[in-house]
């Protein structure tokens, strides 16, 4: 029996992580935050004083990444780094190493391994295009840069980090450009993906749309 997968891709701060986590919880599925893997790789590299353009060294870290996701917490080699990987510095570093083809390839097997019964909800930038092209339902979440910057600002302030709206807009715009233009797995909607603009939607409304899409996909596949 093929294990069902829902992929939720999209740019930074589009809400895909929160939506994916809630969808997974509602369905009782496993959850994969693929972006966290790049953040963990970046965090590990920074702690080891490895340059962010040293592709071979970064790929070596990614291949044996000692990570674990438990009830919303992220662990690196047994240490709870949930807050550390969400720091803006780590996000920027992760965005830079995510364009490196060798690093992306090094993380493929790790990501595929998250697929397990009863199902998986995976969020990222290439979940539907590269990692799980046979997903039961593919969704591409997007939102305006201003809406995403505002969300990121609130997230950072709530976690006690400093934030500046102008800097956030600039950073998101630069990240979008890197993600869309990279040669390896560029950010784009997967074939057949439902494009959902969350600029004016609440998290609950977005979750409802994804659950409804999945229910319809299951019904269609059973006919």
Select from 6, 15, 16 the least CA-distant residue to 124. 16
pTM (predicted TM-score): 0.87
Per residue, the 3-state secondary structure of 6-37, as one string, reads: EEEECCCCCCHHHHHHHHHHHHCCEEEEHHHH
Does the pLDDT at position 223 exceed 80? no
Fold of 8-208: Rossmann fold (3.40.50)
Rounded Cα–Cα distance for residues 97 and 44 (Å): 12
State mean pLDDT over 114-138. Answer: 95
What are 29-74's pLDDT values in tens digits? 999 999 899 999 999 999 999 999 999 999 999 999 998 888 778 9
Select from 145, 130, 67, 68 the least CA-distant residue to 98. 130
The pLDDT of residue 189:
94
């Amino acid at each position: 029996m093929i294990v069902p997968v829902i992929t939720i891709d999209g740019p930074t701060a589009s809400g895909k992580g929160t939506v994916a986590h809630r969808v997974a919880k509602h369905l009782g599925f496993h959850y994969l935050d693929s972006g966290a893997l790049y953040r963990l790789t970046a965090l590990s590299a920074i702690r080891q004083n490895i340059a962010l353009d040293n592709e071979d060294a970064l790929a070596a870290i990614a291949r044996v990444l000692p990570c674990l996701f438990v009830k919303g917490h992220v662990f690196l080699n047994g240490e709870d780094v949930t807050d550390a990987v969400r720091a803006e510095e780590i996000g920027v570093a992760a965005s830079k190493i995510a364009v490196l083809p060798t690093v992306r390839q090094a993380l493929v097997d790790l990501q595929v391994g998250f697929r397990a019964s009863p199902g998986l909800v995976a969020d990222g930038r290439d979940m539907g295009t590269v990692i799980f092209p046979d997903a039961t339902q593919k969704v591409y979440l997007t939102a305006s840069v201003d809406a995403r910057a505002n969300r990121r600002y609130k997230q950072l302030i709530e976690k006690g980090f400093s934030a500046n709206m102008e800097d956030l807009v600039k950073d998101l715009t630069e990240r979008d450009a890197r993600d869309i233009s990279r040669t390896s797995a560029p950010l784009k909607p997967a074939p057949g993906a439902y494009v959902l603009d969350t600029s004016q939607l609440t998290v609950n409304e977005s979750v409802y749309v994804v659950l409804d899409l999945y229910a319809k996909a299951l019904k269609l596949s059973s006919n």
